[in-house]
Amino acid sequence: MMSRVPRLFLRLFLSYWAGLVATILVVFLIFPRPDNQSIAWALGSRIAAAIAVSGVACVLVARYITRPIAALSIAARALASGDLGARAIHAGSAGNAGKNEIEVLVEDFNQMAERLERIVESQRRLVRDVSHELRSPLARLNVALDLLDSAKGDVCEERERMRRDIDRLNSLIERLLALSRLDAANDLAAPEWFDLSDLITEVGTDAMREAVARGCEVECKIAQEFPMLGDYELLRSAIDNVVRNAVRHASTGSAVEVELSRDTNGSARICIRDTGPGIPESELENIFRPFYRVDRARTPGDGGFGLGLAIAQRAVRLHRGSIAATNRSPHGLTVEIHLPASDGSE
Give the active site residues: 132
Spatial separation of the C-alpha atoms in residues 133 and 111, rounded to whole Å? 32
Query: CB-side exposure of 7: number of CA atoms within 13 Å?
Result: 11
Sheet of 217-222, strand order: 217-222, 255-262, 268-274, 333-339, 322-327
Q: What are phi and psi of 140, to 5 degrees?
A: -65, -35
Helices (H), the chain: 7-24, 39-80, 101-150, 155-184, 196-213, 232-249, 308-318
Spatial separation of the C-alpha atoms in residues 134 and 138, rounded to whole Å? 6
Spatial separation of the C-alpha atoms in residues 114 and 116, rounded to whole Å? 5
